[in-house]
Structure 1
Amino acid sequence: MTKSRIGRYLVGAALIAGLAGCESSARQDPLLVRGSTDDIVFAQVPIFRDRPVDESIRGSLELTDYAVALHNAGLLETLQRAGPYTVFAVPNAPLEAEQRATSGQLLATADHASLRRLMQYTIVPGRYTEARLRRMIAKRGGPIGLTTLGGHDVLTVSLEPDTQELLLGDPQGRINRLWLADVPQSNGVLYATQSLLVPEAPR
């Protein structure tokens, strides 16, 4: 791991720790499912199924940039609420690639509206498990559209004909595959994607 990458992780970890430190030490998770401690290991870090989705995102080194982007967009706090929310989190590598392509402006807070809309496009209100998505696709006989958090943009979900794996799509026709699928959370479902999708440009 390069020094710059280590430094970025440390900065991200410090920010996330600071966010957690703002909460009262007496805070109790009202969404905790007692007696359930099942976890799944994602990029060598466990994600507990009985915790809220924001906690799983903040606890994953692979989602450090995504957590920072959600914070800058004012959406990380949203994912602490009861929801439920289905989150298609974007790992560090595709976010870093987009950062380079935009000359470092992707995660900048200067264009808050654009960042917020981009991050809203990764969140869908409701609890959409993989089984539910497959049933919806089968019932419709083809791709379905999920209205994302902003209330206007639609994320397309379909099945790859040969492998039958779930695919995500944006209005530009780009396809996004899943890295991690269908992790139950106390207030929703967490996925991790392999790339970044972008909502339709404002008219």
Structure 2
Amino acid sequence: MDRRTLLSSALAAGILALVLPVRAFAQTGTAPTETVAGIISSDRDLDTLASLLMAADLLDGLREAGPFTVFAPVNDAFEAMGEATLSDLTAEENADRLRRLLLHHVVPNVLMPGALRGGRSVETLAGTQIEITDEETLLIGGAELLTPGTEIPNGVVHKIGSVLEAPEQA
């Protein structure tokens, strides 16, 4: 390969490297991390949640327009459930139970920290209710709000210290 061909190939590769990410951005309208799914996928404290959402085939849905508020249990919250419980939850025969548990953490609205103050009840995508209490600390279904989220184009992700238990289906 002569020098001119090598230079042309390198230039073409460089242009592609610049154009492809811009093209992906243009198709979705938001940068990959500017969605609820992107925030969850890119945050190391939420690796377990991201894996479970992917296993339940829910992660891609959180890239959609929304709006969504996700009360996101950190990795330690899932570890506190115990390995046996997590293993049972991710078993194929418990797929519906896993989906219900995860959807119990998602509200079809944007709830910024100010909207959580004063206490209230919110309905989740699982059709269940989460009680939010504001006493000394802000509790989401009994789980402490660890890190309030920042609003992004399709919602907000708030980190919480416990996994919320979804009520049994009637």
For Structure 1 versus Structure 2, the TM-score category normalised by the shorter chain is 0.7 to 0.9
Aligned length: 147
The residue correspondences of 1:95-174 to structure 2 (distance < 5 A) are 95-102=78-85, 104-134=87-117, 137=118, 143-150=119-126, 152-160=127-135, 163=136, 165-169=137-141
Q: What amino acid is aligned across from residue 145 of structure 2 in structure 1?
A: L
Structure 1 residue 198 corresponds to structure 2 residue 165? yes
- The share of aligned pairs that are identical, in percent, is 29
Larger Rg computed on CA atoms: 2
Q: Deviations over 1:180-203 (max 9, x none)?
A: 113222210110000111111123
1:176 CA drift (Å): 0.7
CA RMSD of aligned residues (A): 1.9
1:109 CA drift (Å): 3.6
The aligned counterpart of 1:183 is: 150
Structure 1 residue 31 corresponds to structure 2 residue 3? no
Task: Give the Cα–Cα distance (whole angstroms) in 1 for the partners of residues 71 and 86 of structure 2.
Answer: 24
Task: Give the Cα–Cα distance (whole angstroms) in 2 for the partners of residues 88 and 124 of structure 1.
Answer: 8
Task: Give the Cα–Cα distance (whole angstroms) in 2 for the partners of residues 74 and 96 of structure 1.
Answer: 21
Q: Deviations over 1:77-105 (max 9, x none)?
A: 11101101001111111112224252622
Task: Give the Cα–Cα distance (whole angstroms) in 1 for the partners of residues 157 and 54 of structure 2.
Answer: 17
Return 5+ residue gaps in structure 1 as ranges.
Answer: 1-23, 33-47, 138-142, 170-174
Task: Kindly indicate which of the two structures has a greater share of residues assigned to strand.
Answer: 1
Task: Give the Cα–Cα distance (whole angstroms) in 2 for the partners of residues 60 and 103 of structure 1.
Answer: 20
Q: Deviations over 1:106-131 (max 9, x none)?
A: 23343110000000011100111111
Task: Give the Cα–Cα distance (whole angstroms) in 1 for the partners of residues 90 and 74 of structure 2.
Answer: 14
Return 5+ residue gaps in structure 2 as ranges.
Answer: 1-19
* TM-score, length basis structure 2: 0.78
* TM-score, length basis structure 1: 0.66
The aligned counterpart of 1:92 is: 75
CA distance 1:102–1:52, change in 2 (3 Å): same
CA distance 1:103–1:177, change in 2 (3 Å): closer
Q: Which residue of 63, 75, 80 corresponds with 2:63?
A: 80
Query: Does the aligned pair in 2 maintain the 1:99–1:106 contact within 8 Å?
Result: no
Task: Give the Cα–Cα distance (whole angstroms) in 2 for the partners of residues 176 and 103 of structure 1.
Answer: 18
Task: Kindly indicate which of the two structures has a greater share of residues assigned to helix.
Answer: 2
Q: Which runs of 4+ in 1 moved over 6 A?
A: none
1:60 CA drift (Å): 1.2
